[in-house]
């Protein structure tokens, strides 16, 4: 992870996005490795995120919830900053890094003035990815490699290899030196 912190003067502006609702756009060129912004908001438990999602009739882990390594989440919709408006893209120009429970958004490559900032949300959704779930998490980034959803691929459970019996030995194994 690069060692810079967000600049004092924002290198971005929030405005309407063709991808979805609001978006974050470069106000000036942004160099690769630059820390653009910290993702802020209220720190909540997983149970609280489920309660909030149900109360808003939205799916769990929707886009304003940012998961942390310790199992908590940042709810960017509650006391959050402009980072919550950075849209998902399948071919992102930014990426998120967690450092000591804080999340920073960094430019992956040089970003031109006026370009929309985005990162791959890689949303994990435990339940079946039904057509309704896929619609709720539809991706509209328009990239040539667009997967159509903001969801991370489900992790497939590997089957354990079949148990085989050890061959019968006619002599005890040789002692190791």
Per-residue pLDDT tens over the stretch 100-136 = 999 999 999 999 999 999 999 888 777 788 888 888 8
Q: CA–CA separation, 120 vs 86, rounded Å?
A: 10
Q: Is residue 1 assigned to a domain? A: no
Assess if residue 158 is contained within a domain.
no
Q: How far apart are the first and last CA of the chain?
A: 47
Assess if residue 170 is contained within a domain: no
Does residue 171 belong to any structural domain of this protein? no
Residues in CB range of 154: below 8 A, 6 or more apart: 129
Which pLDDT score is estimated for 133? 83
The count of structural domains within the chain is 1
Q: What is the pLDDT of residues 55-92, one digit of tens each?
A: 876 655 556 888 899 999 999 989 999 999 999 999 99
Domain that holds residue 79: 12-136
CATH code where residue 62 lies: 2.170.270.10
pTM, 2 dp: 0.77
Residue 149 included in any domain: no
Please tell me the distance from the alpha carbon of residue 36 to that of residue 29, in angstroms, as a whole number. 11
Task: Give the ranges where 1-84 is alpha helix by DSSP (H).
Answer: 46-55
């Amino acid at each position: 992870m690069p060692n810079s912190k967000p600049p004092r003067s924002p290198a971005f502006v929030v405005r309407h996005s063709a991808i979805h609702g609001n978006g974050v756009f470069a106000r000036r060129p942004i160099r690769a490795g630059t820390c653009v912004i910290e993702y802020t908001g209220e720190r909540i438990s997983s149970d609280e995120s489920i309660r909030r999602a149900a109360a808003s009739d939205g799916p769990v882990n929707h886009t304003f919830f940012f998961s942390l390594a310790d199992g908590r989440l940042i709810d960017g919709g509650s006391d959050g900053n402009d980072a919550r408006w950075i849209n998902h893209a399948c071919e992102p120009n930014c990426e998120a890094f967690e450092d000591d429970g804080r999340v920073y958004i960094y430019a992956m490559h040089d970003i031109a003035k006026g370009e929309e900032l985005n990162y791959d949300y890689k949303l994990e959704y435990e339940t079946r990815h039904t057509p309704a779930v896929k619609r709720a998490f539809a991706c509209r980034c328009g990239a040539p490699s667009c997967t159509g959803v903001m969801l991370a691929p489900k992790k497939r459970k590997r089957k354990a290899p079949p148990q085989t019996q050890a061959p019968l030995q006619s002599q005890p194994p040789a002692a190791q030196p």
